[in-house]
């Protein structure tokens, strides 16, 4: 997908290779949640000005302190062209992404998982990520550039590409 998910995956593999499944699971959790943020970011940039004012206001309020559930809910609200959540072509992707908050809450709650469950947790996160990347929406398939605009004037933007 992109440089960041590859680097997170490399760290996960290294921890797993060294037998530290808890840290490997944490890396996989980060990779899954990064993917959710990518989806939200794409849909936000594309559609925030196209949705009704009431929905936009709710999205802006909820983005201030987002939970995994609210990130998905905002993303669904912003998916007005059915690019990921409403398209039947992405049914498996949608089902997998919708299952993540429940799995996350059951397995780690607010950040803690017992060490004896770490191998199972790691495998579950690997399976989820594999399913999500097998047939993702089109905007996740290509190369992704993260650009931070530093300044702009009437004709030019100055930015950093990560």
Look at residue 156 and tell me whether its pLDDT is greater than 90: yes
Task: Classify 85 as helix, strand or coil.
Answer: coil
Other Cβ atoms within 10 Å of 44 Cβ, number: 17
Distance of alpha carbon 118 from alpha carbon 131, whole angstroms: 20
Q: How many residues does the chain have?
A: 162
Look at residue 143 and tell me whether its pLDDT is greater than 80: no
For residues 18-43, average pLDDT: 92
User: Could you tell me the CA-to-CA distances from 53 to 33, 48, 62, 77, 108 in Å, in that order?
Assistant: 27, 9, 14, 12, 36
Q: What is the pLDDT of residue 113?
A: 53
For residues 72-84, average pLDDT: 90
Read out DSSP for 54-95? HHHHHHHHHHTS--HHHHHHHHHHH-TT-SSSS-GGGHHHHH
For residues 120-140, average pLDDT: 85
Taking the alpha carbons at both ends of the chain, their separation in whole angstroms is 14
pLDDT band at 13 (very low <50, low <70, confident <90, very high): very high
pLDDT digits (tens, 9 = 90+) for 84-114: 877 777 788 888 888 888 888 887 765 555 5
For residues 7-11, average pLDDT: 94
Look at residue 11 and tell me whether its pLDDT is greater than 90: yes
Report which of residues 156 and 133 the model is more confident about: 156
Distance of alpha carbon 162 from alpha carbon 147, whole angstroms: 6
Indicate the average pLDDT of the chain: 87
Q: What is the pLDDT of residue 132?
A: 85
- Outline where DSSP puts E strands in 3-156: 147-152
All structural domains of the chain with their residue ranges: 3-161
């Amino acid at each position: 997908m992109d440089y960041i998910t590859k680097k997170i995956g490399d760290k996960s593999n290294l921890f797993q290779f060294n037998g530290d499944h808890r840290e490997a699971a944490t890396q996989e959790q980060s990779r899954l949640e990064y993917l959710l943020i990518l989806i939200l970011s794409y849909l936000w940039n594309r559609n925030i000005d196209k949705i009704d004012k009431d929905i936009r206001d709710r999205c802006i309020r909820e983005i201030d302190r987002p939970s995994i559930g609210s990130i998905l809910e905002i993303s669904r609200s912003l998916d007005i062209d059915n690019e990921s959540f409403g398209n039947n072509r992405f049914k498996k992707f949608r089902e997998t992404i919708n299952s993540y908050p429940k799995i996350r809450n059951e397995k780690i709650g607010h950040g803690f998982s017992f060490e004896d469950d770490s191998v199972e947790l790691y495998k579950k996160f690997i399976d989820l990520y594999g399913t999500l990347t097998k047939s993702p929406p089109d905007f996740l398939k290509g190369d992704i550039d993260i650009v931070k605009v530093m300044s702009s004037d009437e004709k030019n933007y100055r930015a950093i590409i990560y």
